[in-house]
Structure 1
């Protein structure tokens, strides 16, 4: 985030996060990319010891009582270390904890939030299934009510942190009636790793390796009633609020992950010579660097504006649109910035002499996970049209359609 937008407290926190990032061994990063390390337990444990996770949550539950504007700064700085580090950092501290803080009981917060933010346990969110991830209401995992507990059966996949999680945030169908209102058919559960919970780290990922991403299978798992998060049949309420940390957090950390690509390319182009001068003197190079810098600055501005909107508790529908716009714009802009960085470095950027190739691979996930960018476009369009019709006729804005020389031509304004 821009320095001039942060107060002294936020600036001090940024230095704490940068110190955490600086202390991560190079070999850990390389071993994760080669799948030699399946999950960065030590990194999250250290972040927890330093009280750097979940900074916007109340101090009572292990946070720092800060805001979303500060959170996007933290996520950007963690993302600098590598996209997968921000992924695992965010899944537990920003997604699962957010759901429990907003919808859970004090007992659930004590058991599942405090130790996670302290880096003592780990969590994963289980939404995506083999048949798809964007179709939330199409969930086929089932939980059968047995009186004092539920019995959970089903399968989830592409679950970040699956291999290391001590508990899982799981969406499951509790009303099998196909005629049931979809908004009342699903329930959210906190499921401890126990007998019947099977995980498998099996995916040959293009990038973002070492985050414990795997398949999770639930076979007759007994889940006590006190582990229902929120109310039975009200999983959509949980999911709806989690879209903010999922998508705004994703946007912020994507900026951080793209930032090193721009920095490396900038330094490289001021040293690499061709035709007797450094290549930053050629517009074909410097303009691509300029575009990358512009896209990252625009992305930060958008993240900050959306974070302020969330902190200000504006209308939920407008937040829904802004978060979706931010996720789509920022992830695509950052992928373009990393592309430019590789392009100006030429062939050496395509090798592992520099980390550009890893950054490009990792960032490809950004426009897919936490809701594809096509789904973001669908949400943006839907909410924008609703907003347009809501404000039409009640706003004080001037009707600019009439500012045309032949505006009063009904015979020309034919719509059918």
Structure 2
């Protein structure tokens, strides 16, 4: 097994790293302080082709696959993990799902703009009382002959109030449980009447990443905006999540790496008792623990990407990568704050941001408990590994 990048993957990783250092890094502190979403960064990512992974060139994609995508996203998220949401929100959510399930008209209309950054994307599943239990959602879509009528609300939607295009999941047969969910493409530039998009400002972390509550009151959606077969939305949703969870896994592994790099640098710079604190065994133990978990997380992420690249069953590997990288990020950020000491608790260093941002991975796109269940269920033979 080859553990190195190909020349193309190296170029993509270097391109993404250069972009992140020049376009994202200079604004991190300001955007964190102001909870500010810098929309132009998304457009610039699109211009460089960093939103076109896994999408054929005929639809505006870059024609590159999972390995290149993860290599690029890893470098971006290492600088500021809030921006890893752009890839999931644009590409692995709406664009890739429309590519898989959409009509030719839908593909031509929406995918190129999502890849270029002209459109910001999102997907809306979670509700106030429906999280891990997706099939219990209450939002409905009623067939009114020449249009669909959406009623209900969604909660904790990444990019919900800043996006142009979103996938929205709703019940088209409320009595049928998982077999009564359908998926709809909502064009927020065309559909505004009856839609309320409310920013959620009070969050522990991910401050520059927009998060929203969406309220739909008798919102008319064109009949042609149904994505995929009627009442097959649950299957579409699970297929989509197996892709977008790669964004979570990659972002968590990148945050783990950022915390490790920062801790190593600080341990070599900070002196106590006449020597760098990295010379003390307790600090070395912390660094060693971080390194072990960080390497394992990165390998799991790229293993899952390789399986996807080669069209092999990847659901278990993706959940393992997301779960382990999440644990590595949380533990690594916590260790970094300890190594930095009192300075780790100040805004002068990024330890607080690392820890705040790491915690969201334990919930986002499947809680850690859910992913434990997926891994165990597949291993025990209770569910197939898709």
Task: Please report the TM-score for the alignment, with normalisation by the length of structure 2.
Answer: 0.94
Q: 1:188-337 to 2 correspondence within 5 Å?
A: 188-193=183-188, 194-315=192-313, 319-337=314-332
Matched, 1:367 2:366: no
Partner of 1:398: none
Post-superposition CA distance 1:309-359 (Å, at most 9, x none): 2222224xxx22221111111111121112111111111111111111111
Q: How does 1:388-407 map to 2 (within 5 A)?
A: none
For 2:243 and 2:349, the matched residues in 1 are separated by 31
Give structure 2 stretches of 5+ with no counterpart. Answer: none
Is the CA contact (8 Å cut-off) linking 1:159 and 1:215 kept in structure 2?
Answer: yes
Larger radius of gyration: 1
What is the 5 A alignment of 1:117-196?
Answer: 117-176=115-174, 178=175, 180=176, 182-193=177-188, 194-196=192-194
Q: Structure 1-normalised TM-score?
A: 0.88
> Any conservation in 1 of the 2:336–2:351 contact (CA below 8 Å)?
yes
Deviations 1:97-128 (A, max 9, x none): 12111111121122111011101111111111
Q: 1:388: Cα distance to partner?
A: 10
* Contact 1:123–1:166 under 8 Å retained in 2: yes
Shift of 1:216: 0.6
Q: Distance in 2 between matches of 1:22 and 1:6?
A: 21
Aligned residue pair count: 382
- Per-residue CA deviation, residues 150-209 of structure 1 (Å, 9 max, x unaligned), is 000110011111121112210000013x2x3x3420100001212111101133011001
User: Helix, strand or coil: the match of 1:304?
Assistant: helix
Q: Which residue number corresponds to residue 13 of structure 1? A: 12
Kindly indicate whether residue 346 of structure 2 is the aligned counterpart of residue 348 of structure 1. Answer: no
> C-alpha offsets along residues 363-396 of structure 1, whole Å, 9 cap, x if unaligned?
1101110100101111112111117999xxxxxx
Q: Distance in 1 between matches of 2:250 and 2:25?
A: 23
Residue matched to 1:28: 27
- Residue 62 of structure 2: SS of its match in structure 1? coil
Aligned to 1:386, what secondary structure does the other structure show?
coil
The RMSD of aligned alpha carbons is 1.9
Equivalent of residue 55 in structure 2, options 54, 57, 70? 57
In 2, are the aligned partners of 1:54 and 1:94 still within 8 Å (CA)?
no
Q: Could you tell me whether the CA contact under 8 Å between 1:82 and 1:359 is conserved in 2?
A: no
CA change 1:357–1:333 in 2 (3 A) is: same
